[in-house]
Amino acid sequence: MNLFLFLVGGTGARVLKPLVMQLAAGVRPCDENTGAPIADLQIIPIIMDPHRANEDLKRTEDLLRWYKEIRRSLYGERTDVDHGFFNVKISTLADLIPQKGLNNSFIFNLGSIAEKEFKDYIAYDTLNDANQALCSMLFSKDQLNTKMDIGFVGSPNIGAVALNQFKDSVEFREFANIYKREDRIFVVSSIFGGTGAAGFPIIVKNIRDAASNPMLTNRGDLRDAKIGALTVLPYFNVASDENSPITRADFVIKTKSALYYYQENLTGPKSLALNACYYLGDEEASVPYPNDPGGDGQRNDAHFIEYVGALSILDFISIPNDKLMTIDGKAQNPLFREYGLKYDEKNLTLMTFGQRTRNLVNQSLVKFHLLYMYLTNQFMKDIGRGYTLDAPELRSSFTSTSFYRTLINEFFHSYYDWLMEMQSNNRSFAPFNILTLKLENCIVGIPPKKGLFKGVVDYKTVLSAMNAESKKATTQSRYSSNQLPFKLMDLFDSVAEKIIAKKFNSIK
């Protein structure tokens, strides 16, 4: 299955980041009926944001690039991997159709928008007096003068016009022509800003209207596509700034207006455009973010709502096909889902969430954090002893490889920053004690089980378990000489699973 993931505006990029972290940890969506992992899963993120200088977009784009590089070192181009760290393949649209010469980027090309002020984009100066008067009624002077390289500055009426070029782009045509009946589409956007609120309905409309687009060769399958969407309601606060067009008070007004429009054109009985729609928001005011309409880069701290938002994507993948039927462009029995915390607390941990969430992600996240701690604090000390000497050997030169440097110096640094930002926000989400060096107290609120024969959890425990697992793997000839990254990660995955089962099995 290919999941084409459209991420609109800054919120789209911010929700993608925790999804990448969850996939790196080995979280794997499973069929909600059978419990079997979804086979041959590949995710194709397509980020739509004219604000290329957006720091959150840049950070997410870097994370995607590092993920691809690490995964390629582990599994090559395989899509049939169904367990282990980084098991889900993430690709660009160009990866799927390299012969078409598309830009090999996760970011949709919106250059013709970003280069212009809105009035120039609509050729305002060439209009006659009557049409200029009409435009002046629909758009304020500030909106007409908006330079769209910073997005649509909370103005979905601008975005609705500018983003309509989507249907005429080479990228949309190629996406539409390679879409297969078994594939799925998911859209992530906020409802209280400009880019997301405008882009979401345009994407869905152009997909459902594929039958009338003569440029497409795959019109029937695309018109009846399985489409899900996450609509993110207000969840953060911004500092007051009289010189900025962005205010917290406007968020609620814009949300109500957008919901009414969506009811008429996306989710209501007249349209039935979505097979599954997810709603998410939080009235608890976050630590106020700087009021930056876009000129200074818009770098917001990670928030637990984005972490939960990523779970909606995994949930959509897990829904069986027979619950996502579409006939003649109309969704049959559409699903509407919300998310609620098990406990309404300001300081969240892994155990705050409900049973289904804990079953899906907790073990994988704990395994990944143990990996982070071991590779960051101990691995180089273990080179030259035990499992590192079993063939194929993990020598000191391994720490100079592109795989190791990307994982340690890039991905893990981003992972640490992500945890730190969520912990510092309001609500605070702190799954791990990120300042400790001790494995035994690294999970917030979950100490290891104690007992006479249970032993301790430390780096000696890990080394001993890695040695035992490596001996077994050597007997089975499990790793070849060109699989050093896979050997390290696969051994640790197996060992961490056993440690969790023995010492931390209360995480579920």
Q: Is residue 482 part of a domain?
A: yes
Q: Is residue 317 part of a domain?
A: yes
Task: For the chain, give the number of residues.
Answer: 508
**Into how many domains does the chain fold?**
2
Q: Which residues pair with 326 in a beta bridge?
A: 331
Residues 6+ apart with CB under 8 A from 19: 310, 313, 314
- The pLDDT value recorded for residue 155 is 53
Residues 318 and 378 placed together within one structural domain of the fold = no
Q: Is residue 350 part of a domain?
A: no
Residues 334 and 372 placed together within one structural domain of the fold = no
Query: Is it the case that residue 394 has pLDDT exceeding 50?
Result: yes
pLDDT digits (tens, 9 = 90+) for 57-93: 889 999 999 999 999 999 999 989 989 999 999 999 9
Residues 238 and 275 placed together within one structural domain of the fold = yes
- The pLDDT value recorded for residue 229 is 95
Residues 314 and 377 placed together within one structural domain of the fold = no
Q: How many CB atoms lie within 10 A of CB 345?
A: 12
Query: Is it the case that residue 119 has pLDDT exceeding 90?
Result: no
Contact 241, 250 (CB under 8 A): no
Of the residues 304, 338, 372, the one at which a domain ends: 338
Residues 234 and 113 placed together within one structural domain of the fold = yes
Residues 300 and 434 placed together within one structural domain of the fold = no
Q: Is residue 347 part of a domain?
A: no
As a whole number, the mean pLDDT across the chain is: 84
Residues 29 and 158 placed together within one structural domain of the fold = yes
Mean pLDDT of 115-133: 72
Q: Is residue 349 part of a domain?
A: no
Helix axes 363-377, 9-24, angle to 10 degrees: 80
Containing domain of residue 312, as a range? Answer: 2-338
Residues 327 and 360 placed together within one structural domain of the fold = no
- The pLDDT value recorded for residue 150 is 47
- The pLDDT value recorded for residue 491 is 97
User: What is the full DSSP assignment across 172-197?
Assistant: HHHHHHH--TT-EEEEEEESSSSHHH
Query: Is it the case that residue 248 has pLDDT exceeding 60?
Result: no
Min mean pLDDT across 220-234, 318-332, 446-460, 471-485 is at 446-460
Q: Is residue 344 part of a domain?
A: no
Residues 203 and 334 placed together within one structural domain of the fold = yes
Rg (CA), the chain: 24
Q: How many CA atoms lie within 13 A of 461 on its CB side?
A: 16
Indicate which CATH number applies to the domain containing 187.
3.40.50.1440
Residues 323 and 431 placed together within one structural domain of the fold = no
Q: Which long-range contacts (CB under 8 A, 24 or more apart) does 468-477 make?
A: 469/387, 469/494, 469/495, 470/386, 470/387, 470/390, 471/387, 471/390, 473/390, 474/390, 474/391
Q: Is residue 11 part of a domain?
A: yes
Q: Is residue 343 part of a domain?
A: no
Is 86 or 507 the better-scoring residue by pLDDT? 86
pLDDT digits (tens, 9 = 90+) for 407-431: 999 999 999 999 999 999 988 999 9
Residues 447 and 315 placed together within one structural domain of the fold = no
Residues 288 and 408 placed together within one structural domain of the fold = no
